[in-house]
């Protein structure tokens, strides 16, 4: 396939899960790819797994100053940018009474503030046309306990997909969002979910399973490609029917 032939793409949080698979599919579709990650070891492992031509940029997704570093690295590597997949994020799930200001601020910084200022830093580099894809979540639509802060950050990204579309379309930049349901990634283990917890989660999904990272990445490729040239400010929910219940 060559739907992204000649395009230059940046995937934030490209070291594992959906981000790594999206980078892999971008490469398969002919794109030149850069990825970001905060951990130098996992970043190098991802670069090696994807191939030597991938540009690996170490950066903290929640640090505004480092978003300018990412933009400078993209400029040096590619000279410009056709596709941005904003995928880096954290999932911190706690009951309301367990939150403190530091944790709240960290979730907002990584999931909203960093991405916002990355887009700002990249504006001079975007080609015309270009595509931005935001990785959000069905948690923005459902009342899942313990997800209040995570859900509000993802709702903010869905809002940005609409408002930035209105603002940036004149520059030829389309902004769209994917909203995954539960996906089989390392996230569920990182937040302490047991096999029983995951089984209970799967029981809430009409499709009877968690999604695969490739199913999300294929949607991202569609939004990144010229096939979606008339798709602007849209959100694609990919959740096995979970949010319909």
Q: Give the model confidence (pLDDT) of 130-182 as tens digits.
A: 999 999 999 999 999 999 999 999 999 999 999 999 999 999 999 999 999 99
Q: What is the CATH number of domain 8-234?
A: 3.40.50.720
At residue 197, the pLDDT reads 79
d(CA 178, CA 16): 17
What are the φ/ψ torsions at residue 126 (nearest 5 degrees)? -65, 135
At residue 245, the pLDDT reads 72
At residue 179, the pLDDT reads 97
Low-confidence ranges of the chain (pLDDT < 70): 186-191
At residue 186, the pLDDT reads 65
**Cβ atoms 210, 142 nearer than 8 A:** no
Among candidates 137, 174, 12, which has minimal Cα distance to 85? 12
Is 116 part of the annotated catalytic residue set? no
At residue 189, the pLDDT reads 65
Tokens encoding 76: 């040096």
**Cβ atoms 4, 224 nearer than 8 A:** yes
Q: Read out DSSP for 109-157? A: IIIIIHHHHHHHHHGGGEEEEEEEEEE--GGGTS--TT-HHHHHHHHHH
**Cβ atoms 7, 55 nearer than 8 A:** no
**Cβ atoms 168, 225 nearer than 8 A:** no
> Which is it for strands 55-58 and 173-180: parallel, antiparallel or unpaired?
unpaired
d(CA 123, CA 146): 35
What are the φ/ψ torsions at residue 228 (nearest 5 degrees)? -105, 30
Q: Exactly one of 150, 161, 181, 221 is catalytic; which is it?
A: 150
């Amino acid at each position: 396939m060559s739907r992204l032939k000649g395009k230059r793409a940046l995937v934030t949080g490209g070291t594992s899960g959906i981000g790594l698979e999206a980078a892999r599919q971008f490469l398969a579709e002919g794109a030149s790819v850069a990825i970001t990650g905060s951990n130098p070891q996992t970043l190098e492992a991802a670069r090696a797994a994807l191939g030597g031509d991938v540009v690996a940029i170490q950066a903290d997704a929640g640090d505004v100053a480092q978003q300018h570093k990412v933009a400078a690295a993209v400029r040096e590597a590619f000279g410009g940018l056709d596709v941005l997949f904003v995928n880096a994020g954290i999932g911190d799930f706690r009951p309301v009474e367990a939150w403190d200001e530091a944790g709240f601020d960290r979730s907002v910084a990584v999931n909203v503030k960093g991405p916002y200022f990355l887009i700002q830093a990249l504006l001079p580099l975007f080609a015309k046309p270009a595509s931005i894809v935001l990785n959000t979540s069905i948690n923005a639509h459902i009342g899942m306990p313990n997800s209040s802060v995570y859900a509000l950050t993802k709702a903010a990204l869905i809002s940005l997909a609409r408002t930035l579309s209105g603002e940036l379309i004149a520059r030829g930049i389309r902004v769209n969002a994917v909203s995954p349901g539960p996906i089989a990634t390392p996230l569920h283990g990182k937040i302490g979910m047991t096999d029983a917890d995951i089984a209970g989660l799967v029981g809430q999904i009409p499709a009877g399973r968690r999604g695969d990272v490739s199913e999300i990445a294929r949607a991202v490729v569609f939004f990144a490609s010229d096939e979606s040239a008339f798709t602007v400010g849209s959100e694609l929910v990919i959740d096995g029917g979970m949010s319909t219940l």
